[in-house]
Amino acid sequence: GNSVTQMEGPVTLSEEAFLTINCTYTATGYPSLFWYVQYPGEGLQLLLKATKADDKGSNKGFEATYRKETTSFHLEKGSVQVSDSAVYFCALPVGGGADGLTFGKGTHLIIQP
Amino acid sequence: GAVVSQHPSWVICKSGTSVKIECRSLDFQATTMFWYRQFPKQSLMLMATSNEGSKATYEQGVEKDKFLINHASLTLSTLTVTSAHPEDSSFYICSASLRALSSYEQYFGPGTRLTVT
């Protein structure tokens, strides 16, 4: 099945710093790719997605580009805020025709004022 | 919109007993619901996929007789952990999908913390 490797945290940054969270995947074909975010005490929320190669997903100032050449889907934000503190998960379908997702281990992001 | 709830949010039970966790889609009808398990500082692992009115499909290594899943309606799926043991202690998360919205887009519940003593 498909799999994903994600940089592990915690990642601690100062407010307004540039953020990159690396994500690489192994997959059959070209599945959709996702970033989910989990704020403290809440469920996972879809942050952004890309459905085909070279697509760029974006939301709330976050971006990620589907790179099939490097099998990567790195998450970036130009200027982080304290409110971005959360756990971020990279994900893609498990494969084999199933709809469930396989996730990276999650990256805990801490933004200090 | 697209809110998924879980009940209870946390539960403590004694070894050997069974525990039922509910997952509800509050404002949409979910054709498919998923159950995941998350260990501390680990990723979410897909346990099973359930479609309304049919038997759940379990991932390799997940005991279907231990983790009973029922998806009786388009808004409710339940996970029953039977004869629970301490090693079943974990964070259980459900999600719901409406494929018409977007391929594979899922909406997640807040999770249920199970502790077996």
Instruction: Provide the strand spans (E) within A31-72.
Output: 33-38, 45-50, 56-59, 62-65
Chain A, window 47-86: residues with a beta carbon less than 8 angstroms from a chain B beta carbon:
49, 51
Chain A contact for B49, CB < 8 A?
yes
- Residues from chain A contacting residue B108 (CB–CB below 8 Å): 36, 43-45
* pLDDT value of position A97: 66
Residue of A nearest to B43 (CA): A105
Report the range of poorest mean pLDDT among A69-78, A88-97, B9-18, B101-110: B101-110
The number of C-alpha atoms within 13 Å of B102 and in the hemisphere containing its C-beta is 14
Give the gap in angstroms from C-alpha B37 to the nearest C-alpha of chain A: 11
Give the gap in angstroms from C-alpha A23 to the nearest C-alpha of chain B: 14
- pLDDT average, residue stretch B74-87: 95
The string of DSSP codes covering B8-42 is -SEEEE-TT--EEEEEEESSS--SEEEEEEE-TTS
Q: How confident is the model at residue B21 (pLDDT cuts 50, 70, 90)?
A: very high
Kindly tell me the burial class for residue A22, based on how many C-beta atoms sit within 10 Å of its own C-beta (0-12, 13-18, 19 or more): middle
Q: How confident is the model at residue B27 (pLDDT cuts 50, 70, 90)?
A: confident
Residue of A nearest to B2 (CA): A45
Are B99 and A99 in contact (CB < 8 Å)? yes
Q: Count chain A–chain B contacts defined by CB atoms under 8 A.
A: 57
Which of A89, A101, A102, A107 to probe the B interface (max B CBs under 10 A)? A101
Look up tokens 């494929």; give the residue.
Answer: B99
Say yes or no to pLDDT of A79 above 80: yes
* pLDDT value of position A60: 95
- pLDDT average, residue stretch A54-76: 97
Strands A98-103 and A86-95: antiparallel
Q: Are A56 and A65 in contact (CB under 8 A)?
A: yes
C-alpha angle A54-B96-B9 in degrees, rounded to nearest 5: 120
Residue of B nearest to A98 (CA): B49
* pLDDT value of position A59: 96
